[in-house]
Amino acid sequence: MTQNAPASRVWLLDEVRGLAILLMVFYHALYDLDSLFAIPINLLDTGFFQFFRHFFASWFMVISGIACRYSRSNLCRGGLCLGIALTLTAVTVIFLPSQQILSGILHFLGSAMLLFALLSPLLDRIPPLAGVIGCVLLYFPFSHLDQGGIGIPGLWFFSLPRRLYTVGFLFPLGFVPPGFYSADYYPLLPGIFFFLAGSYLGLYFRRQLVPSWVYCPHNNFLAWAGRHSLWIYLAHQPVLWVALTILQLL
């Protein structure tokens, strides 16, 4: 499957990614107030906020998958992202162990980019529509790994060997060992299916088979935030901590 069709900047994706990163900053501000500044934010435990958190994280996964179709080197892109993620792990484990991040969204995205780069010759043999549908269908049975198996509870469920959940180094895949903790946790399974679905959607974007308005700018600020989402992600927690500390002292 070739990728030589004309490409154009997809402004809407920048804007959606920008909105997602700003809403994530808002969520983390509430989280910091609750976890670091002992100001109870009861909304964080509601189903709505948990859905809110996972919904926008899934958008990052899909958009990152789409972006893979525009990248000159997904190996370099993935390696850089994973390297930054591992640096973040070291910093949080050493300086803020109560909020350590062992397998967060950057770990996921970096690993997914590397896997895509390695597997793209095989993945590209699958027609885009079949790829999108297949990824969506695979997501649901793998979304219950935390319950000890694969399937749809109430319909069919295949229990996996408990050994998978006691081997500590498998947590990046979604097999959580006893006592494991990561303040931000996005394992490869089932999220990789959102990412790969995005990679198949990216073929439609590259070939300009989606409405023309997605290539037009609508909000420059959101587009700017989307283009700089990595740096906003890296900077927002220190900035939030300083800002909330100052507010607490006033």
Calpha distance 216→64 (Å, rounded): 19
**Domain total of the chain:** 1
Q: Is residue 5 part of a domain?
A: no
- Whole-number pLDDT of residue 8: 65
The residue behind tokens 């809110």 is 52
Per-residue tokens: 53: 């958190």
Whether residue 4 lies inside any domain: the answer is: no
pTM, full prediction: 0.90
Q: Is residue 1 part of a domain?
A: no
pLDDT at 141: 95
Q: What are the tens digits of pLDDT across the range 40-63?
A: 888 777 888 888 888 888 988 999
201 lies in some domain: yes
> 146 has which bridge partners?
none
Spatial contact of 198 and 63, defined as CB atoms under 8 Å apart: yes
Within 10 A of 98 (CB to CB), how many other CB atoms are there?
9
Contact 223, 14 (CB under 8 A): yes
Which region, left, alpha or beta, applies to residue 38 given φ > 0 means left and ψ of -120 to 50 means alpha?
left
Answer whether 139's CB lies under 8 Å from 123's CB.
no
pLDDT at position 239 is: 94
Radius of gyration of the chain (CA): 19
Domain of residue 176: give its range.
11-249
Segments of the chain with pLDDT less than 50: 1-6
| pLDDT confidence of residue 2 | 38
- How confident is the model over 189-207, as pLDDT tens digits? 999 999 999 999 999 999 9
Measured between alpha carbons, how far is 17 from 67 in angstroms, rounded to an integer?
11
